[in-house]
Structure 1
Amino acid sequence: MSRDLQLDLFPTEPGTDPMTDLVPDGVDIYIVNLSGGKDGPRAAALALDAARAAGVEDRVFTIHASLGPLEWPAVTVDGVRYPGSSELAALHSRALGVPPERHIEVRRTQELEGERVPYDLLTYIAERGDWPWKGVLPCRSDWKTGLIYGAFSSMVRARKKELGRPVVCANVLGIRADESPDRKKRPALRTTTANTARVVHEWSPAHQVTTQEVKDWTDEQGLPHQWCYDSHPGAGDWQGSSRCSCSLCVLANRRDLLLAVRRRPRLAELYALVERVRGVPFNPNTSMAELIDRAARPGAPDPGVLIEDEGPEFDALENAVQAALKKPAKRARYVRPVPAGDALPGGCDGCAAGGAAGPDQGV
């Protein structure tokens, strides 16, 4: 097959196979995004099938961009340990047959007193005094996409020197059409970067797979799914959170937020502190203070488990946030318009996937 890969930039029609435009052995590096959620493994399995059929399985890498203590952590219930999102991403990679040395985890850091330490998204929010929202999503660009692409920069440089041409990358995402109207309109295959160093094609091989099909496939494969999806750890009933992103995501639906507040009260209180000090609501439609109040009322979803959020990692987050709040916001706040109505939007659109890379963010 030709290694000069050319892709149609028009959206793939529903029901068509995007592989008709993607030549498997024309891809030099497969970058398979795994968040620890349910959709990544399904997309990864489809991408792996294509790579194996073409004899290029050794070009497949999996990667997880960790959000540290803002992710769903591991819990132990009745002596059984249920892994957190980062650990689960690695377990998914291994279960799908990717060697451990080809699974990568990245996390944003900053230099503090001469050493590199984790730089968490909530600290960034506390420093600047505003929350991510549609169109302004540093949680997507700076904490995921940029880190993931950066992790492959040295590999791309080496391959470009070896091949003498731009390196072709497939950025494999777990985006599916029935998650939201925005995702339904998003092409299953599109080019996001094309320059003299690299060509990056964003590929969502599970785009037309339904939510129920993903759940059924996961159960049939015997793959562990994130415990937050269940009514309680180990239930296996998919009656918990509908999405697996940040535990408290600004784009989550109301039930998911109330459930998360009840499951992680200490984290919710830290969010409420940022909201109170900076004077900006967590979400244009509601405040964290209101969510905490509603979560305590009759009729709120049963958490099934209570996370204490104890330990050095969470303590470090709390200390960093409190230190940030003692200083003035670093820049003027972006004042979001408050829409009418009380309904929150659906799920996070592309949270785990990242957006299109800019010219300086390509793989």
Structure 2
Amino acid sequence: MVSSGQIEFPGFAPEVPDLARYRWILANLSGGKDSQAMLVELMRHARAAGVVDRIVVVHADLGDAEWEGTAELAAEHAAFYGLRFEVVARTGSGLIDRIEERGMFPSADNRWCTSDFKRGPVRRLMTRLVREAEAEGHPGRVHILNVMGLRADESPARRRLLSFAHDSAYTCPCSYCAPRRAIADDHKARDLPVPKHAKTGWGASNTLRHVDTWLPVHTWSTSDVWAAVRPSGLRIHPAYAAGMPRLSCVFCVLASRSALVRAAQLQPALAARYAALEERIGHRFQADRSMADIIKEAEASPPIAAVACWQG
């Protein structure tokens, strides 16, 4: 989708990969507007390429930390298009309990919530999909396209992402990763620092799977997203109508003050649970803001109509 409201960034032109070269196309669906728009755009291209049957929708379930009905809504979105749907989650304690176990909340500099509760579980699904392909007689490495609804205007870090990129890793034998690994090994053997251009990263690719990442709506504006979602027929989560600009965790550690206050007005019991957790572990929800303070403001304020979005 290209519209007059689309954000243009030099070097970040939208790219559409050859969908037919992938055995699996993994659509990461949060239930929020950006992943809905991603699914609409993905379906448009998958239908044209005749590969709709290769799409697997995955939802990373955050349990009590996410808005009620989010997982069910993601399943509904997948069913709308007749797609296979998988729910993944971290093995063990949920996000809120894990915060207590670690004795600290995630932060912008330490977003362990993303790696533990999203990236890790999704990679386990990739492993399972590889095994399925192998059982069906798929020869060689299994190619997987990991599709997400990340957008450049959500944060400086996301702005730096490419709309299409190989998810490189040290154990990946592809023509991109192998030469870099050789350079890195040579430098390590001589006790020299590995140059930046030789670092392969810690991506999802390995000896059994080749993983690429595609961000179909990376350069889209918020207006572009809603222009795709509203006429699509996909139901929108009620948190948006209640004033929330994004559908992440109910209380995201990166969220704006007004977003946290509005969330506390909508989910007071969960806010109280976070405040009690703060007191037990002796760590503030945000460095400059406690959940206890958010609750006081939520109780003293009328329903917030203008909720500020946030970066991250």
TM-score by length of 1: 0.69
Residue pair 2:58, 2:87 contacting (<8 A) in 1 also: yes
Structure 2 unaligned regions, length at least 5:
1-8, 168-203
Residue pair 2:150, 2:215 contacting (<8 A) in 1 also: yes
Between the aligned partners of 1:86 and 1:195, the Cα distance in structure 2 is 29
Residue-by-residue CA offset, 1:136-165 (whole Å, 9 max, x unaligned)? 222211111111221231220342463332
Task: Map residues 140-219 of structure 1 onto 2, 5 A cutoff.
Answer: 140-160=114-134, 162-192=137-167, 193-219=204-230
Between the aligned partners of 2:10 and 2:208, the Cα distance in structure 1 is 26
Q: How many aligned residue pairs are there?
A: 266
Identity of aligned residues (%): 34
What is aligned with 1:13?
A: 11
Residue pair 1:33, 1:40 contacting (<8 A) in 2 also: yes
Residue-by-residue CA offset, 1:189-246 (whole Å, 9 max, x unaligned)? 1112433211111110111121012112211223211110113xxxxxxxx1111011
From 252, 256, 259, give the equivalent of 1:256.
Answer: 259
More off after superposition, 173-182 vs 151-160? 151-160
What is aligned with 2:233?
A: 222
Q: Please tell me the residue identity of whatever aligns with 2:74.
A: A
Question: Does 2:27 match 1:52?
Answer: no
What is aligned with 1:266?
A: 269
Q: CA deviation at 1:23?
A: 1.5
Q: Please tell me the residue identity of whatever aligns with 1:136.
A: N
Structure with the higher helix share, 1 or 2: 2
Between the aligned partners of 2:309 and 2:240, the Cα distance in structure 1 is 19
Residue pair 1:12, 1:189 contacting (<8 A) in 2 also: no
- Runs of 4+ in structure 1 displaced over 4 angstroms? none
What is aligned with 2:189?
A: none
SS in 2 for 1:221: coil
Residue pair 1:60, 1:98 contacting (<8 A) in 2 also: no
Between the aligned partners of 1:302 and 1:245, the Cα distance in structure 2 is 19
From 62, 66, 71, give the equivalent of 1:67.
Answer: 62
What is aligned with 1:335?
A: none
What is aligned with 1:294?
A: 297
Residue pair 2:57, 2:86 contacting (<8 A) in 1 also: yes
SS in 1 for 2:162: coil
Residue pair 1:132, 1:139 contacting (<8 A) in 2 also: yes
Q: Judging changes above 3 Å, is the alpha-carbon distance between structure 1 residues 268 and 85 closer, same or farther for their aligned structure 2 residues?
A: same
Between the aligned partners of 1:65 and 1:155, the Cα distance in structure 2 is 16
Q: Please tell me the residue identity of whatever aligns with 1:346.
A: W
Q: CA deviation at 1:264?
A: 0.9
What is aligned with 2:94?
A: 120
What is aligned with 2:19?
A: 24
More off after superposition, 248-257 vs 219-228? 219-228
SS in 1 for 2:144: strand
Between the aligned partners of 2:141 and 2:109, the Cα distance in structure 1 is 30
